[in-house]
A and B are shown apart, each in its own frame.
Chain A
Amino acid sequence: MSRKTRPKAWSSRCFDYLLGLYPRSFQERFGDEMSATFEREIADARNRGRAAVAKSWARTVIATLRCAIPEHIDAMRQHRQAATGSTSRGDRWMHCLTADILTADVLTADVRHAVRRMAAYPGFAVIAILTIGLGIGVNAAVFSLIDTILLRPLPFNGAERLVRVWSAQPTGDQRFLDSTIDELRTLREQNRVFAEVAGLSLAPRDLHDAAGAPRGIVVGRISAGFFDVLGVAPILGRGPTPEEYASGAPVVVLSHGFWQTRYGGRRDVVGESIAIQGLSHRVAGVMPKTFRYPQQAILWRPFTQQENQDDDRELQVVARLHEGVSLEQASADIALVLAGLPAGESEDAATTGWAQPLQAMLVEDVRRPFWLLFAAVVAVLAIACANVANLQLVQGAGRARELAVRTALGASRRRLVTQVLTESLMVAACGGLLGLFLGSWLLRLMVQISPADLPRLAEVQLDVRVAAVMLAVTAAAGILFGLVPALRAARGEPIAALRGGRATLGRGGQRLQQLFAVGQIAMATLLVVSAGLLTATFINLDGAERGFSTRNVMTVDISPPRDRDTSEQRLAFYQEVHATLSDLPGTESVALTNFHPMQDFGFRIPFQIVGQPTREGEARPRALLRSTTHDFFHTAGIEIVAGRDFNVDEAGGVAIVNEAFVRAFLPAADPLRERLSHPAYFGEDRPAEHQIIGIAANVRADATAAAVKPRIYLPYHHMPWPRMEALVRWSDPAMASAAAVRERLWSLDATIPVDVVTMQEWIEESVAAQRFNMKMMSSFAGLALMLATLGIYGVLSSTVARRAREIGLRVALGASWRSIVRMVLRRGLRLSLTGVAIGLVTASGATRLLNSLLFGIRPLEPWLLLSVAAGFVAVALAASALPALRALRVDPLNALRVE
């Protein structure tokens, strides 16, 4: 436990990566101890100076690689023996491999030889290591994200039995409804499938404490047993007691992040008092870092007595299944229990329900994009593998002579194979290490640029096992193709190799090389097309017409001071705010509204069109209620498409509705002649009937949403909300300043929290997921393109080298330089066109998977496909240019003399 909490030294973390290379059983048995021992070892080395530290590290890395492989083989053998109870021939072979090939002397000699070769051909080594490192790095990082977020069970006890309980309508219209207190109570009392049931609802609140300026927070209000359902206990202090739950006591449990940022992780914060909405609450405990449910909650507290009486449908119900109960059984039981409740008359009354695994619910939205990103990095790895194999082929051909000489001098086949193996492994190991470091760096980067609402970010860490598997794949590719020349040499063809002066690749090798190049280009094409689609999506979304202006507008979240509690006092306060902000230099106009245009939620008021008959038993229609000042439409930049805007002095009896409202409820009538009425929610003295005076353009907070919700705008005098958003439009963007806004408002009252966010920031937040997808996919496509280019270049270079003699001969016979260049370029062009064609055909099928992630562009956008193809041809030509130039420089005399 103490080990987990103590911050780890850099060296310990690196060593932990290395430990990850061992089989799990070995790690579990010795991991902790080995860390402890290594910490002492390195501390000891540090005392002896830098050289000792470097030596210690080198020894540890090499020794780990050497020990981890036989340990894995041991583990596999034990596993198999446990399964079959015998040793097979394969096992004995394995045993021979571990005992013999990896013995120290031979290995040391081979390692030395390999290092010498790497030093002699640094180009090969550097490119191979970089290629492997990049391939492994991106894969390790992306897979670690996927593993943490999608695959690993939630960091809750017995997470697989946790479900989110949804209320629903039997008609199937509304499958994802939150629940009411009544439903929660009934479920808890009558269900036969859950060990525990609890509920939570979120509410924005103001916080005042000694730690800083007042601010708005999101409070998770929880029912008894909430933390027990999830099986998570506070790491500091305690959760609310049953008595505190019952009485609705003012105690709070802080989220880890808030505890860190607001209170600097002070342990003595437990027991302190903080004020929420002016009420004093005692801090009872702090939750662990990995506990972020729901994401938005800053702190949690029990429902108050009054909240326990509420009938709002805003409760998120979570439950823990009894052992052995299936989801279907649970859903059936929920439906049975909820069917017994009275339906009520409201439109969203739910009489049934169902259970969804909690994990599935949390990660629903990111599942598809993440798997697509994973497919992309696997393609990058495949391209990297092909590059390494390619390099090995060329290298192998180049060393055929060396191997032949050694065979002729009596080296055994096994020695040659072992040596080539060692070299490939060395390159793979260096690449793998680079990949690990790159991966952990990339992962940190990805977490930084990922959307803030990405679930489970706090848990993300690099998964070394995955990196090891990927490394094995890459190493295998290298070994496979590295072995070809060694085997050929050993097969007894040394004479041919000795006689042929130049490196040759053989017909099969050449064809393989071309195949690799074509495959690489095809995969890179696919990735670039995907990246193009996601980029277009992002650009379309970012610039989408939303029906309100997104530039030069700020939103300011305001709630009146606690002592201004009545409607009149609030109204007066809002008028002060309006006047004060309007006074700020540089503002064009200021408006107040209960929800700004990017907030696509809020109270849905039931209403009636006056004069339209209502049918018995049918629920009343509802629409989002917006309570605004008269200059709202101008300030927000929303067009009034028919009728007129509110007047300054209009306090009630008039309403503006949006186009969606007209389409849904008044499709045939002239809306401006209609009146609507609603129950007298806002006091008997307020009008409950309103003349529709205008129609406002639809606004879209979510540009991808198919439908826009009907809205009713009423003058805010009608209902001064307990919180409002001020919209400030600046005539002079240079003077727009959140600090000035804050200062102005605090001059009214220094105790109110003021959260200023620009409309542009709201938009950015809303497209954060698309921005992330675009950035990731573009980077991978760029990487793929780079590696594929390297592939084309490699093939052409080796072609030119191989055909130097032929080229020399042609030049000697009077061929023009043009024809030589054309010959090389034609070859490059043929490879790339084939690759691009295959890539585009694959893309036409594969990009359909992207369809649900796209906006404003079709998966098969012709201009995109054409420009990708053209781009690739250009890149291929550029990659061919260097070898072509080299072909020109072939000196006919030299080329002919080489033989």
Chain B
Amino acid sequence: MESQHDAIDGHLLPLKPAVLLILTALAEKPRHGYAIMLAVRQQSGGRVELGTSHLYRNLKKLLDQGLVSPSSQTDEEDPRRRYYQLSELGRRVLRAEMRRLQDILKLGRNLGILDPAEAAR
């Protein structure tokens, strides 16, 4: 099993499912709160619905940890909205988490828990 997690990011892993989805949503492009909520719902196929309270509690933690940073982009429609983007550290952590998950998938396949086709999907 190739374990390539950065030492500094190690204590942040594994990521909670909601956090993983938030980071993934931001990896695509900077988004505001509501857009993150929509993206999370869409990416999870509707299985994860983040409410406003949980979203912002998570966002606060991510901001404090430096995984996410405010973006300078402003919103024409509603000036109260702020945009967030993935920081360099955030991108590294996300990558590390995805590798970790990949490792686990690989393990599942090797042990025959998952059939290879399913795991590849």
Contacts and interface: CB of A to CB of B under 8 A. Distances in A.
Interface of A: 2-3, 26, 29-30, 32-38, 40-41, 56, 59-60, 63-64, 66-68, 70-71
B67 interface: no
Interface string B1-42: 000000000000000000000000000000011100100000
Interface in B76-121: 78-82
B51 interface: yes
Interface residues of B, number: 19
Contact of A41 (B32, B37, B78, B82): B37
Given A34-B56, A37-B81, 7 more contacts: A30-B60, A41-B52, A60-B51, A63-B51, A70-B57, A71-B57, A71-B60
Most buried by A among B53, B78, B80: B53
A67 B80 contact: no
A35 B34 CA distance: 10
Given A3-B80, A26-B60, A34 B33 contact: yes
Contacts of B32: 33, 37
Contact of B53 (A2, A35, A40, A63): A63
A37 B60 contact: no
Contact of A64 (B53, B59, B60): B53
B52 A34 contact: yes
B55 interface: yes
Contacts of B56: 30, 33-34, 37, 67
A34 B57 CA distance: 11
19 contacts: A2-B79, A3-B80, A30-B56, A32-B80, A33-B32, A33-B56, A33-B82, A37-B34, A37-B56, A41-B34, A41-B37, A59-B51, A60-B52, A63-B52, A63-B54, A66-B53, A67-B53, A67-B54, A71-B57
B52 A37 contact: yes
Contacts of A3: 80
A40 B80 CA distance: 12
B37 to A, nearest CB: 7
Contacts, number: 58
User: Interface SS of chain A: helix, strand, loop or mixed?
Assistant: helix
A781 B60 CA distance: 45
Contact of A35 (B37, B59, B80, B82): B80
B51 A36 contact: no
B15 to A, nearest CB: 15
Nearest to B59: A30
A36 B32 CA distance: 10
A63 B55 CA distance: 10
A618 to B, nearest CB: 69
A235 B10 CA distance: 55
Nearest to A3: B80
9 shortest interchain CB distances as A-B pairs? A63-B53, A37-B33, A36-B80, A32-B80, A40-B34, A67-B57, A38-B52, A67-B53, A37-B34
Interface string B40-74: 00000000010111111101100000000000000
Contacts of B34: 36-37, 40-41
Given A38-B52, A63-B53, A63-B54, A33 B60 contact: no
A814 B54 CA distance: 66
B33 A36 contact: yes
Contacts of A26: 60
A35 B81 CA distance: 9
A65 to B, nearest CB: 9
A567 B37 CA distance: 77
Contacts of B51: 41, 56, 59-60, 63
B14 to A, nearest CB: 15
Contacts of A40: 34
B53 A60 contact: yes
A845 B80 CA distance: 54
A29 B60 contact: yes
Contacts of A68: 53
A70 B60 CA distance: 12
Contact of A33 (B49, B57, B80): B80
Nearest to B16: A104
Nearest to B63: A29
Contacts of A67: 53-54, 56-57
Nearest to B56: A30
Contacts of A37: 32-34, 37, 52, 55-56, 81
A37 B40 CA distance: 14
B70 to A, nearest CB: 10
A533 to B, nearest CB: 47
A67 B55 CA distance: 10
Contacts of A29: 60
A57 to B, nearest CB: 10
A40 B78 CA distance: 11
A636 B60 CA distance: 71
Nearest to A60: B51
